[in-house]
Amino acid sequence: MPHLLGFSGSLRAASSATALLRALIARLEGKAEVEIADIASLPHYNADHDGGAAVAALLAAIERADGLVFVTPEYNYSVPGVLKNAIDWASRPAYQSVLKGKPAFVATVSGGLIGGARAQAHLKYVLNAVLAEVYPCQEVVVPQAPAKIVDGVFADAAVLDFAGAALDGFLARIAATRGR
């Protein structure tokens, strides 16, 4: 069974990105094992030191993972700083990091009408720069995401069906590349 590492780009307890990530993880039960990366404990990126235990734990989790699942909100037309910080830590050494060749799935949410499309474009650009393998599929963008949360649970069946089908394709891609 593939092992995935999930990233929420938000630290908020009531985050729609985290709610969507958890709902997607629930849909993957029996298909993949998924853990959620702890990016809240990471120090600000600084190349003068190694980041300590929190960074070592993140790098080990990425190394163990067969693929990465990113669900992030859009902040000021881009990726939240906390998520970019995690990627910056994981991107070293340049062109030889644990992100090199790592399959990555991207979904975005926003309170607005375009579902974080700008953040998704930026995140894919950054992931390509660190040589991750971004899964090519129709964009999973969720507009007006906070309205799709019911009692803390992401509850839009159409979005979950669409994103779930894309994740099934992502898992098939991972299985195909693991079999090479």
Interval 137-152: pLDDT, tens: 999 999 999 999 999 9
Q: For the packed helices 81-90 and 52-64, what is the interaxial angle rounded to 10 degrees?
A: 80
Q: Give the pLDDT mean for 162-168.
A: 98
User: Does residue 180 carry a pLDDT above 90?
Assistant: no
Contact yes or no for 42/87 (Cβ under 8 A): no
Interval 42-53: pLDDT, tens: 999 999 999 999
Confidence of residue 178 (pLDDT cuts 50, 70, 90): confident
Q: Which uninterrupted H or E stretch holds 120? A: helix 117-129
Q: What is the three-class DSSP state of 86?
A: helix
For a pLDDT cut of 70, what percent of the chain falls above it?
99
Interval 82-139: pLDDT, tens: 999 999 999 999 999 999 999 999 999 999 999 999 999 999 999 999 999 999 999 9
Using alpha carbons only, give the angle 126, 32, 132 rounded to the nearest 5 degrees.
Answer: 20
User: Does residue 8 carry a pLDDT above 90?
Assistant: yes
* The one-letter amino acid at 60: A
How many Cβ atoms sit within 10 Å of the Cβ of residue 178? 11
Mean pLDDT (the chain) is: 97
User: Domain spans of the chain?
Assistant: 3-178
For residue 25, CA distances in Å to 18, 79, 97, 176 come to: 10, 21, 26, 21
Specify the CATH number of the domain 3-178. 3.40.50.360
Contact yes or no for 156/85 (Cβ under 8 A): no
